[in-house]
Homo-oligomer: A and B are copies of this chain.
Amino acid sequence: MITFWFEFASTYSYIAAERMRTLGEVPPRVVWRPFLLGPILKSMGLETSPFNVWPTKGAYMWRDVERLAGREGLVFRPPQPFPQNGLQAARVATGSAQASWLPDFVCGVYRAQFAQGKNIAEREVLRGVLEDVGADADDALARAEAPETKNALRAATEEAAARGVFGAPSFHVGDELFWGQDRIDDALAWRER
């Protein structure tokens, strides 16, 4: 079983989510798990995205994601600000982990952020995506705020860290970890061993 770990503010997670959906690698075949990369980066001594800490690394990432998006036929525009605050989106995804619309919601949030210039920290943006994917938006937004949802997201982040995740996207196949959208094929191949 593959776990796909993604962070909503992560550009490479956008590419990965779209590819995973296109490949049909969605629940129940693959567990899609949102987590928060911020606390993990903080434990590594980074107060913001590595792409902001190191401008050369950032310049590479913006061009690289543009190229990758082009290959996948996706629009990509650098969001303002970067990184955005993906906490609410992650809570919505966590609270509705079993919903059939989860992959569409995840990709919808990425498109809102990286293609449509919206700020995913805004509740109304998330409501719009939920409505687009046919979810009960009021219900999903209410679940997102439930204490058990907040705890579950915190636990997911702690589990990711404990299992060696230090970046997004990441993939677990059993205990084998693969980091980066460019390792999707390796992760899928590992599952078939």
By a beta-carbon cutoff of 8 Å, the part of chain A in contact with chain B is: 44, 54, 56-57, 59-60, 63-64, 67, 161, 164-166, 176-180, 182-183, 186
Number of copies of this kind of chain in the complex: 2
- How far apart sit A60 and B164, CA to CA, in the bound complex (Å)? 7
Residues in B whose Cβ lies below 8 Å from that of A59 = 164
**6 closest pairs, A vs B, by CB?**
A56-B166, A182-B182, A57-B166, A44-B54, A56-B164, A60-B177
Residues in B whose Cβ lies below 8 Å from that of A179 = 60, 64
Minimal Cβ-Cβ distance residue in B for A56: B166
Task: Give, as a whole number of angstroms, the nearest-CB distance from A57 to chain B.
Answer: 5
Asked if B166 contacts A54 (CB within 8 A), the reply is yes
Task: Give, as a whole number of angstroms, the nearest-CB distance from A190 to chain B.
Answer: 8
- How far apart sit A40 and B165, CA to CA, in the bound complex (Å)? 25
- How far apart sit A176 and B57, CA to CA, in the bound complex (Å)? 14
Residue of B56, B67, B164, B180 touching A182 (CB-CB under 8 A) = B180
Residues in B whose Cβ lies below 8 Å from that of A165 = 56
Task: Give, as a whole number of angstroms, the nearest-CB distance from A172 to chain B.
Answer: 12
- How far apart sit A10 and B56, CA to CA, in the bound complex (Å)? 19
Task: Please list 19 pairs of residues, one from A and one from B, whose beta carbons are closer than 8 Å in the complex, sorted by A's number.
Answer: A44-B54, A44-B56, A44-B57, A54-B166, A56-B164, A59-B164, A60-B164, A60-B177, A60-B179, A63-B176, A63-B177, A64-B177, A64-B178, A64-B179, A67-B176, A67-B186, A180-B182, A182-B182, A182-B183
